[in-house]
Chains A and B, each alone.
Chain A
């Protein structure tokens, strides 16, 4: 095919083009993803018994950790939908919540006698945490991929990894309503670990799912 003919064809197809409402799409997908993750949690493991009486500060901490990761990640994803914007500009901020919780976990361990470290780190349901977070993240991940494809991502594995991380964070936020383990080292290891696992899965799926 002759390029000049293609250009003729393309330039006859013009009318005013409005900018794709990518911010709106992404925000709605984030809200919907969070709601769906909570619904899946309610439909499977259910909320922690006595959620209302549980220590508020631990629940707040878990939600703050997971939601801050999700929101910073969404900002990076917004850049990823626009060709030519540097993803690395906002990505380093993702380390902030992880480093804070990691440092908090280390301090909590330092203040605790060695004998109690095992229960602090493993909690009672670490395996549940590793299974549930990726499970709750699955549907939000699919939604995010759908939204990203409305844009024009050009760095596919990076975008996939961040999409995995964001959906993992939403999954972890939903899981925190079930999670009976109230300890900082537990959150630092198992929450962060499960979220990173989701990011790795997203990284490997990204190039295939996001290609255009």
Chain B
């Protein structure tokens, strides 16, 4: 069993280092439809025909974490929601990427002195792309998505860093 796992790890290494594989990954990062607060409304607007920001980049909106690659945290994270987000993140299959959308997800935003808000989602899960704004315009989110695609292609995401350390 251990040998099999070792072999699997070796295969994963080869796959991750392959540019072709990364290029293919960057072409269809399926996104987890997961709305928290105001930014979720802008995320919905991004998906509508005016911006067409989701399907244009090969992103298919999935309602379950088990079929998704990208998680967009769109809103403030409270102490009560934090374990839930962590679990949702753990349920996603690897490789997985996180976009923190809006001030609240980046640093707590206007609720920085609240007794119940986690100051930034990166205290719970690793974040690849930060999209600032309150809330960010759909164009800003598009830029974040394009950025993430480039990072995946070039192997610069948090996932790749973790793999390189091992």
- Determine if chain A interacts with chain B: no
